[in-house]
Structure 1
Amino acid sequence: MPNPISVIIENQNSAGGAFITNEQGLLPPFVTTKYVVEDQGNSSPRYVRSSLYCIPATADLLNTTALSITLTVSPMARTVEGEYEPPIVNFGELGAIRCNRCKALVDAGRRFQCLMCKVTRDVPTAYFQHLGHTGQRVNKYEYLELVLVT
């Protein structure tokens, strides 16, 4: 069994410094590691941590491994010096665009399919915007929830 102190020191040496949130396959630093998050659109490990970072692709594989998947969510976690505060989105009187059934956040278009419960709903008229030639909303940069703020 490895010595926990040497594992912590090794992780500080290999994962300390900048942690870029959109690099695929990169495991987050340990909670004991000193790091600065460069927000590239995915959640900082200070706010959300998972018990599994390689999730089985099929139910059979999940049952075979008998591993539980949990998330530790810390929405009020503090940032460290050099990190941006998470952007706060104000939807105004319209409120957040959410599924009426399960309240999960959704994508924009004339209609949307909730990513959580798979129900299809109409997008409120006040939030609708046409898509440009790139397939993205024309007013994308007016909404913090649609772009990364750096």
Structure 2
Amino acid sequence: MPNPISVIIENQNSAGGAFITNEQGLLPPLVTTKYVVEDQGNSSPRYVRSTLYCIPATADLLKTTALSITLTASPMARTDEGEYEPPIVNFGELDAGRRFQCLMCKVTRDVPTAYFQHLGHTVQRVDNNERPELVLGT
């Protein structure tokens, strides 16, 4: 069994510094490692982490290994110094707030009825201060 302290120190030495999000086969640094994310289109490990980074290719292999696949999402994680903030929702008018556009794929979708809120005179949702997911970074 490896010594956890040794593993942490080794990972800091090998994976510390810049972590570029679109490099093939690159495992994210441990949560204890100090690193700076260079966002190249994939999510930062500060926001999404997986229990598996090598997913079995077939259902039989997955069943044989009995590994569970879990994603841990931390949408309100803080960025470190030197990192760019994630893109924030554009409050611009789009069908009076009944529709929104995805920042990544540019698809326009209807806002779910339970989530809809009218826009005020500032062309922002009336409840935007009550919804932390809409006011991050402002």
TM-score by length of 2: 0.67
1:109 correspondence with 2:97: yes
Q: CA RMSD in A?
A: 8.9
Task: Give the C-alpha shift of residue 136 in structure 1.
Answer: 30
Identity among equivalent positions (%) equals 91
What SS class does the counterpart of residue 138 from structure 1 fall into? coil
Residues 7-58 of structure 1 deviation map (CA, whole Å, 9 limit, x = unaligned): 1000000000000000010000000000000000000000000000011111
Q: Are residues 80 and 56 of structure 1, via their aligned partners in 2, closer, same or farther at CA, if it must alter by over 3 Å?
A: same
Question: Structure 1 pair 22/139, CA: closer, same or farther in 2 (3 Å)?
Answer: farther
1:87-128 deviations in whole A, cap 9, x for unaligned? 1132744xxxxxxxxxxxx99999999999999999999999
CA gap of 1:131–1:36, structure 2 versus 1, over 3 A, is same
Q: Using a 3 Å threshold, how does the CA distance of structure 1 residues 107 and 117 change in structure 2: closer, same or farther?
A: farther
Deviation (angstroms), 1:131: 32
- Shift in alpha-carbon separation, 1:10–1:57, aligned structure 2, 3 A: same
Match of 1:117, SS state, is: coil
Work out the CA distance in 2 between the residues paired with 1:22 and 1:141: 34
In structure 2, C-alpha distance between the alignment counterparts of 1:69 and 1:138, rounded to whole Å: 39
CA gap 1:79/1:128 in 2 versus in 1, 3 angstroms: closer
Closer/same/farther in 2, CA of residues 91 and 43 from structure 1, 3 Å limit: same
User: What TM-score results when the alignment is normalised by the length of structure 1?
Assistant: 0.62
The runs of 5 or more residues in structure 2 that have no matched partner are none
**Whole-angstrom distance in 1 between the partners of 2:91 and 2:113:** 14
C-alpha displacement of 1:143? 23
Q: Secondary structure at the match of 2:11?
A: helix
Q: Is the CA contact (8 Å cut-off) linking 2:51 and 2:71 kept in structure 1?
A: yes
User: How far apart, in 2, do the equivalents of 1:122 and 1:83 lie?
Assistant: 32
Stretch of structure 1 that moved more, 115-124 or 11-20: 115-124
**What's the offset of the Cα at 1:148?**
19
How many residues end up aligned between the 2 structures? Answer: 138
